[in-house]
Amino acid sequence: MMYYSSLLLLFSITLLSLSSIIAVVNSHSSSPSLAEKIRYDNIRVDLDANIKFSFDNTVLNGTSAWITISWTGALPASFDDWIAVYLHEQIKDTVTTTDNNDNNDNNNDQPSFTNRAPIKFFPVFMVGLDVYNGQGYINLQLLNMKQDYYFVFMRNGYDHPIVSAISSPIKFSNYNLPIFPRLSLTNNNNEMAITWSSNLDATTATKLQYVEYGLESGNYQYHSMISKTTTYNANDLCGQPATTYGYLSPGYFHTAIMNNLLPSTKYYYRVGDKVNGFSSELSFISNPSIESDSSFTFLIYGDMGQYIQDSFVELTSEPSSQNVTTALFEDIITLQPSRQQHLSHLRNKNNNNHDDDDFEHSHPIHQHHRQFYPHHYNHGDNDYEQIDDQNEDQSLLVLHIGDISYARGYAAEWEQFHYQLLPITSRVPYMVSPGNHEYDFPNSSSVFHGHDSGGECGVPLYRRYSMPSASETKPWYSMNYGSVHFIMLSTEHNFNVSSDQYNFLENDLMNVDRTKTPWVIVTGHRPMYISSLNWRAEDGDQTVAQQLREQIEPLIMKYNVNAFIQGHHHSYQRSCPVYQEVCQAEGSAPVQIVVGTAGYASSRDILADAPSWLQYVNIDEHGYVRATVDKDNIKFEFVAGPERFIRDTYILGPHRN
């Protein structure tokens, strides 16, 4: 009885400990998360043949799957016990399992762990008090990361972990499956790029895989072969943890171009090949015509991250990012009501090779969507496809202005982010630009020398997404979409007068055709105007804001930029039309908008006395900006939470000379 009471106390302590873990992981604390505290270099192996793993399924299909893991024989129980999930490459060539007697009898080799962080993990006592008998079970979700999984029972805490048991492998049936399709714009308005991931190298994929597309469902009149394949390895990255314990082989990223598209037209498509399987059918609305009276909507935000649905712990897990993703998805299906396949885009029960069999049940977007929008689920799953909305489909664009996945050197986080955003990136062009958590690292191309990117230095971002920028070290670009000319800057790179980026900006602004694109919107990650207490010398909010005002503000004022939209500070803030910190007449100066609210923990360090130029601030809610464009106005709305409450509205009129 005393033993049981002690374990009950330890269980309570563990609950409090995990709450602390989550609080650290989800905050801006300078303290490292538990995942970052694990001493991967101290892992040693001392296998206990009494500990056995079992699973309800060992061969999984599609992009993701839920499984149940059980274990027995873990005695004596300790609150220092934890279970880690590893991929095959993270365990050296020889793997000795403790749940396979034949393997144990005939293989005396010991497993040797690399200095790699687990994909995710959890403290054993989180599953309930049955673990005091040395047994337990838990449900979890696995993504197809293109190699086998292993479960590892760890003892002795996190400072000196001991490998006590290793499971047999859990496999996905198809590692060459085309997964995570993501649309993006090119430099040509009648094109759409599609990028997907697979395990096929460039030579093999170029011969096999392609995108096929057409104007009718199931009738693909056109196809395009892969035009570019990218990948990266640890040598392409610039520091730890990206180069060491956070590294995973990413597979390959293939891009094909759908061309000769009609404007504002619905196209159906799928990617893959006849050998390894296709994705199920998807669709998108092509770009609007480049002309002054084009109407469309764009959604813009920064600082998102991702959130896992099971009870495991990852490096970062942002619950609010899930809420925002749900709201974004709802906006898309409201603005494009005929997108009937938004649930069934990967539903093809006769094809085990397709992407995400269980999408409608397992994907977190739809779980959250059921909670917040039950009117789409009146009579079962199929009814969700029939959205009664009289609006016509609109062309739609999403802009993510820095701090994308918050992987910070842990490659598995990128995969989780791709999965979370799949219902969005596969349907609308998803344009990205870098933030500090993609680029900043000593001796990188960034002007800031912190360690915020975890050694990634922009490489994963620009290999995983196909953007029309000049290069990874010059990741700025511009594009026309409808009646708007967008300029996507990198505030992580030199923007001073006469720098390459400044010269690009000046030349680009000088050559905008305002008869076709009367609206000009500039974006960047770090704000030019911000209510913040951060004056840190090199990269503080106010320090960089002052530099942006000194270097760039005269240029965007000279060329009549309508709005400058940024993130970085995890709040929503909107200014008056402002120049040199003084409000100007409507239409005579750019409006400054900060929208770093897509998921990461809120920044609460705002000035006690609001600056005179600040018209609205929200530090309590996560959300994004929805901008509705027509020939006369742009309506900016701050949309908060999964319920899509409108917290701020601003009507931007045309520029007045």
Among the ranges given (140-154, 238-252, 305-319), the one the predictor scored with the smallest mean pLDDT: 305-319
Please tell me the predicted confidence (pLDDT) of residue 371.
42
**For residues 28-37, average pLDDT:** 59
Taking the C-alpha atoms of residue 318 and residue 651, their distance in angstroms, rounded to an integer, is: 31
Is 249 a residue whose pLDDT tops 80?
yes
Extended strands (E) in 259-384:
266-273, 277-278, 282-285, 296-301
* 284 compared with 354, residue with greater pLDDT: 284
349: in domain: no
Number of domains in the chain: 2
Tokens of 526: 């770090």
Task: Find the CATH number of the domain harbouring 397.
Answer: 3.60.21.10
Query: Residue 238: pLDDT band by 50, 70, 90 thresholds?
Result: very high
- Name the residue type at position 145: M
* 102 compared with 215, residue with greater pLDDT: 215
Question: Does 148 share its domain with 207?
Answer: no
Question: Does 12 share its domain with 155?
Answer: yes
Please tell me the predicted confidence (pLDDT) of residue 350.
32
Is 368 a residue whose pLDDT tops 70?
no
Taking the C-alpha atoms of residue 42 and residue 643, their distance in angstroms, rounded to an integer, is: 46
346: in domain: no
> Over the stretch 532-558, which tens digit does the pLDDT of each residue have?
999 999 899 999 999 999 999 999 999
Full domain range(s) for residue 280 = 179-340+357-652
Please tell me the predicted confidence (pLDDT) of residue 310.
86
221: in domain: yes
Is 161 a residue whose pLDDT tops 50?
yes
Please tell me the predicted confidence (pLDDT) of residue 18.
42
Question: Does 290 share its domain with 147?
Answer: no
Please tell me the predicted confidence (pLDDT) of residue 367.
52
* 474 compared with 366, residue with greater pLDDT: 474
Question: Does 166 share its domain with 184?
Answer: no
Taking the C-alpha atoms of residue 382 and residue 304, their distance in angstroms, rounded to an integer, is: 30
493: in domain: yes
> Over the stretch 599-638, which tens digit does the pLDDT of each residue have?
999 999 999 999 999 999 999 999 999 999 999 999 999 9
Is 373 a residue whose pLDDT tops 60?
no
Taking the C-alpha atoms of residue 429 and residue 435, their distance in angstroms, rounded to an integer, is: 19
Please tell me the predicted confidence (pLDDT) of residue 374.
40
Is 33 a residue whose pLDDT tops 90?
no
Phi/psi of residue 189, each to 5°?
Answer: -70, -20
Taking the C-alpha atoms of residue 223 and residue 208, their distance in angstroms, rounded to an integer, is: 12
Backbone angle region of 409, left / alpha / beta, with phi > 0 → left and psi within -120 to 50 → alpha: left
Extended strands (E) in 451-608:
477-481, 484-488, 519-523, 563-566, 572-579, 582-583, 591-595
Question: Does 38 share its domain with 148?
Answer: yes
Please tell me the predicted confidence (pLDDT) of residue 132.
84
Question: Does 149 share its domain with 193?
Answer: no
Question: Do 346 and 359 touch, CB atoms closer than 8 A?
Answer: yes
Extended strands (E) in 402-452:
430-433
Taking the C-alpha atoms of residue 527 and residue 573, their distance in angstroms, rounded to an integer, is: 10
Question: Does 164 share its domain with 194?
Answer: no
Question: Do 615 and 574 touch, CB atoms closer than 8 A?
Answer: yes
* 125 compared with 349, residue with greater pLDDT: 125
Beta strands at 171-172 and 59-60: parallel, antiparallel or unpaired: parallel
Percent of the chain with pLDDT over 90: 74
**For residues 274-292, average pLDDT:** 95
Question: Does 224 share its domain with 152?
Answer: no
352: in domain: no
The two most distant CA atoms of the chain are separated, in Å, by 84
Neighbours of 304 (CB within 10 A): 30
Question: Does 66 share its domain with 140?
Answer: yes
> Over the stretch 462-510, which tens digit does the pLDDT of each residue have?
999 999 998 889 999 999 999 999 999 999 999 999 999 999 999 999 9
Please tell me the predicted confidence (pLDDT) of residue 376.
35
Question: Is the pTM here over 0.75, yes or no?
Answer: yes
Beta strands at 192-198 and 179-184: parallel, antiparallel or unpaired: antiparallel
Among the ranges given (145-154, 207-216, 316-325, 345-354), the one the predictor scored with the smallest mean pLDDT: 345-354
- State yes or no: cis peptide before 241, omega within 30 of 0: yes
**For residues 66-84, average pLDDT:** 94
Please tell me the predicted confidence (pLDDT) of residue 414.
97
Taking the C-alpha atoms of residue 246 and residue 6, their distance in angstroms, rounded to an integer, is: 36
Neighbours of 392 (CB within 10 A): 10
> Over the stretch 430-472, which tens digit does the pLDDT of each residue have?
999 999 999 999 999 999 999 999 999 999 999 999 999 988 8
The residue from 122, 155, 172 where one domain ends is 172
Please tell me the predicted confidence (pLDDT) of residue 507.
98
Query: Residue 391: pLDDT band by 50, 70, 90 thresholds?
Result: low
Nearest to residue 622, comparing CAs of 637, 600, 591?
Answer: 600
The residue from 157, 172, 187 where one domain ends is 172
Half-sphere exposure for 345 (CA within 13 Å, toward CB):
23
Separation in Å, CA 579 to CA 5, 576, 585, 651: 66, 9, 10, 19
Residue tagged 């009276």 (tokens): 293
Is 577 a residue whose pLDDT tops 70?
yes
CA 310 to chain centre: 17
61: helix, strand or coil? coil
Mean pLDDT of the chain: 86
What sign results for the dihedral spanned by CA atoms 145, 150, 151, 152?
negative
350: in domain: no
Measured at the CA of 114, the angle between CA 112 and CA 120, to 5 degrees, comes to: 110
> Over the stretch 306-327, which tens digit does the pLDDT of each residue have?
998 887 888 778 889 999 999 9
Taking the C-alpha atoms of residue 29 and residue 575, their distance in angstroms, rounded to an integer, is: 28
DSSP codes joined into one string, 133-168: GT-EEEEEEEE--SS-EEEEEEESTTTS-EEEEEPP
**For residues 60-64, average pLDDT:** 95
Question: Does 62 share its domain with 157?
Answer: yes
Is 361 a residue whose pLDDT tops 70?
no
**For residues 260-288, average pLDDT:** 96
126: helix, strand or coil? helix
Is 78 a residue whose pLDDT tops 70?
yes
The residue from 147, 172, 197 where one domain ends is 172
Question: Does 141 share its domain with 265?
Answer: no
Please tell me the predicted confidence (pLDDT) of residue 127.
77
Question: Does 136 share its domain with 273?
Answer: no
* 226 compared with 374, residue with greater pLDDT: 226
345: in domain: no
Tokens of 370: 């059921």
657: in domain: no
Taking the C-alpha atoms of residue 165 and residue 163, their distance in angstroms, rounded to an integer, is: 6
